[in-house]
Amino acid sequence: MKRILLVFIIYSFSVKAQSFILNPYGHANTQSLNGKWNAIIDLYCRGEKAKFYQNRKPASKSEFVEYSFQDGLRLDVPSDFNSQLPELKYYEGNVWYQRYFTISDNTPKRRFIYFAGVNYQATVWLNGVEIGKHEGGFTPFQLEVTNQLKQGENDLVVMVNNSRKVDGIPALNFDWWNYGGITRDVLLIETPSAYLSDYSLQSKKGAPSQINGYVQLAGAEKEQQVELSIPELKIKTNLSTNQKGYAAIDLPAKPTLWTPEAPKLYDVYFIVNNDTVSDQIGFRTIETKGNDILLNGKSIFLKGVNFHEEIPQRLGRAYSDADAAMILNEVKALGCNYARTAHYPQNELLLRKAAQLGIMIWEEIPIWQGIEFTNPIILKKAENMLREMIYRDKNRANIIIWSIANETWPSPSRDSVLTELVSLTHQLDNTRLVAAAFDNPVYDKSTFTFNLKDRLAEVVDVVGVNKYLGWYLPFPTSPENIIWNVAKNKPLIFSEFGGEALYGQHGFADSAASWSEDYQEAIYKKNIVMFKNIPNLRGTSPWVLFDFRSPTRWHPLNQEGWNRKGLVSDKGQRKKSWYVMKKFYQERD
Ligand code: GCB
């Protein structure tokens, strides 16, 4: 994984002045830049021409300036902008953010601004000078500002644009709310001149009594010492980095392995030049063997659910530790040991909490239907997102699956982009499983069998299937007679299934048009009957935990802009189908 850093540099086309900070929450010297920021809504995208980034004030009596960050709109950071003003509910376009912050000493330290997530494109100026750009709403970026900072007041301006794009990832159409803005934390991080820019620590593949990994320093001009300690394992060792700032880690250890039932995490400390970076890391192995997924060598069934990064009750994107707790407690309440963070990397805070709670994770980049695979830029953008996701989350023991796509259809360009992404994922991290979600298995009436003809399914480690039997497609025969001939000799996960129901609505259990809890419950019961006959089924994740907002759900009575496939309503009420899944998970080992 040492390669990540190098390849990052080559491919960081979408990031000007990219620097690297891993684990922003573990750095000793960190200042939050969250809070109220000044903002300007720039509907016609004129702000760059008008040089908003200069944040100018009239300098003489004869001068006027047609904008001002002062005394205008104030927006919360982190948070999406759509949920902060009624007139921004459907807004897609430019919003400018501005704030001041103070630097009170001028010791020669390195400083970085860390953006945990800005949807979708960001351009950043510090004291009037452009310092970086980033594309991609669900992964972080970091900009070194050491040489641009002034002692005293500093002026930070960010232009955010959340317009959907033909060549975006995701692209023009997707089934969730396009929340824009600075949706995650912003931090100012201070480091010494040579600092820990990357590290990896995990159980060695095939040898769990060995801890394996590396440290990578940035800015190291000579060989250096990095102290690594894991007090509970009585590990305290000095690693000597080479001239490129790299040192491999290979230590004998007998950690208690991380499992969903006992999600043991160890406090880990790295000290470089008196600077401490701390983390909480769990150790485990994950692999497949034939039809099985083996966690620490033992076959497991993934009892899961999907969810979006949304708090439905607040009509906004989830962003805080408390939000993560709300979502994950509901995941646990269903009896899950696993979840799919749907279609994009969610907040790092949520993934960390999931590790503490024993929830295994399928994490995906936002390649969601309708991607312009024929455009060569797509591969570059997707690679960048994949690298950013793996760079950020590779030390989380609970992440067991990297997924590269959801519901894409075979074509020469799609096959070539996605098979490249599969091999890149294996190359960046050969310890986890690579998956994709497929909605293209086809039913053969004469044999009652679903088959999948797709080259991509042959190169992934785990095949996910999204099939909404009873909703988008009627059950073609009685569920106990359906045969799934998909993913031969590989684990199959039912990564999506379900149907819509309005909480509290009762009606015919055999009529989709009733939008009733009874009909949704019947869909779940039938799916469960079908699951019992799938020999390589190793996991299920209903679509979806909560009803979620979507501009493509128009029915005026039953949807009103909500996808109603939740097992739980937008108000937090559990539907009948919730109890069906709960029972299924209670009865499965
Ligand atoms: C799917 C998609 C998911 C949608 C869901 C639906 O196949 O993967 O993003 O929200 O179906 O409700 O149609």
In ligand 1, which atom is closest to the CA atom of 565?
12
Closest residue by Cα to atom 4, ligand 1, is: 175
**357's tokens:** 């709670």
Q: Is the peptide bond before 580 cis (omega within 30 degrees of 0)?
A: no
From the CB of 516, is ligand 1 less than 6 Å away? no
From the CB of 407, is ligand 1 less than 6 Å away? yes
CA–CA distance, 586 with 503 (Å, rounded to integer):
23
Give 182's strand partners.
Answer: 118
Closest residue by Cα to atom 2, ligand 1, is: 175
Residue 18's pLDDT is what?
Answer: 56
Question: Within 10 Å of residue 80's Cβ, how many Cβ atoms?
Answer: 27
In ligand 1, which atom is closest to the CA atom of 175?
10
Question: Within 10 Å of residue 123's Cβ, how many Cβ atoms?
Answer: 20
246: closest CA among 205, 278, 214, 284? Answer: 214
**Could you give phi then psi for residue 237, rounded to 5 degrees?**
-145, 150
Max distance between CA atoms of the chain, in angstroms, equals 85
Which of 305, 466, 497 is the pocket-test mutation for ligand 1 (most atoms within 8 Å of CB)? 466
pLDDT by residue, tens only, the chain of 589 residues: 444 444 443 344 444 445 799 999 999 999 999 999 999 999 999 999 999 999 999 999 999 999 999 999 999 999 999 999 999 999 999 999 999 999 998 777 899 999 999 999 999 999 999 999 999 999 999 999 999 999 999 999 999 999 999 999 999 999 999 999 999 999 999 999 999 999 999 999 888 899 999 999 999 999 999 999 999 999 999 999 999 999 999 999 999 999 999 999 999 999 999 999 999 999 999 999 999 999 999 999 999 999 999 999 999 999 999 999 999 999 999 999 999 999 999 999 999 999 999 999 999 999 999 999 999 999 999 999 999 999 999 999 999 999 999 999 999 999 999 999 999 999 999 999 999 999 999 999 999 999 999 999 999 999 999 999 999 999 999 999 999 999 999 999 999 999 999 999 999 999 999 999 999 999 999 999 999 999 999 999 999 999 999 999 999 999 999 999 999 999 999 999 999 999 999 999 8
Which of 496, 550, 562 is the pocket-test mutation for ligand 1 (most atoms within 8 Å of CB)? 496
From the CB of 547, is ligand 1 less than 6 Å away? no
Distance, CA 175 to ligand 1 centroid (Å)?
Answer: 6
Distance, CA 177 to ligand 1 centroid (Å)?
Answer: 13
From the CB of 562, is ligand 1 less than 6 Å away? no
Distance, CA 527 to ligand 1 centroid (Å)?
Answer: 17
CB 125 within 8 A of CB 194: no
Question: Within 10 Å of residue 16's Cβ, how many Cβ atoms?
Answer: 15
From the CB of 543, is ligand 1 less than 6 Å away? yes
Give 444's strand partners.
Answer: 449
Helices (H) and strands (E) in the chain, counts: 8, 37
304: closest CA among 567, 574, 573, 570? Answer: 567
**Could you give phi then psi for residue 7, rounded to 5 degrees?**
-70, -35
- Establish whether domains 13-191 and 288-588 are of one fold: no
Helical spans, DSSP H, in 429-567: 455-459, 517-531
Closest residue by Cα to atom 13, ligand 1, is: 175
Give 339's strand partners.
Answer: 361
In ligand 1, which atom is closest to the CA atom of 498?
12
Distance, CA 138 to ligand 1 centroid (Å)?
Answer: 19
Q: Give every CB contact of residue 372 below 8 A, 6+ residues apart in sequence.
A: 166, 167, 171, 378
| Residues in the chain, total | 589
Distance, CA 370 to ligand 1 centroid (Å)?
Answer: 13
Domain ranges of the chain: 13-191, 195-273, 288-588
Query: Within 13 Å and on the Cβ side, how many CA atoms surround 13?
Result: 10
CB 201 within 8 A of CB 24: no
CB 53 within 8 A of CB 125: yes
Residue 107's pLDDT is what?
Answer: 78
Which of 466, 543, 552, 567 is the pocket-test mutation for ligand 1 (most atoms within 8 Å of CB)? 543
In ligand 1, which atom is closest to the CA atom of 550?
10
From the CB of 496, is ligand 1 less than 6 Å away? yes
From the CB of 521, is ligand 1 less than 6 Å away? no
Which of 173, 174, 175, 546 is the pocket-test mutation for ligand 1 (most atoms within 8 Å of CB)? 175
Enter the DSSP assignment of 229.
Answer: E
From the CB of 364, is ligand 1 less than 6 Å away? no
Give CA separation, 64 vs 55, 56, 518, in Å.
13, 10, 64
Tell me the fold of 195-273. Answer: Immunoglobulin-like (2.60.40)
CA–CA distance, 253 with 245 (Å, rounded to integer):
24
CATH of 288-588, one of 3.30.910.10, 3.20.20.80, 3.40.1550.10, 3.20.20.120: 3.20.20.80
Distance, CA 262 to ligand 1 centroid (Å)?
Answer: 33
From the CB of 500, is ligand 1 less than 6 Å away? no
From the CB of 439, is ligand 1 less than 6 Å away? yes
Residue 368's pLDDT is what?
Answer: 98
From the CB of 406, is ligand 1 less than 6 Å away? yes
From the CB of 76, is ligand 1 less than 6 Å away? no
Tell me the fold of 13-191. Answer: Jelly Rolls (2.60.120)
Q: Which residues of 337-374 are buried (b: 16+ CB within 10 A; e: fewer)?
A: bbbbbbbbbbbbbbbbbbbebbbbbbbbbbbbbebbbe
Give CA separation, 300 vs 107, 352, 475, in Å.
53, 22, 28
From the CB of 55, is ligand 1 less than 6 Å away? no
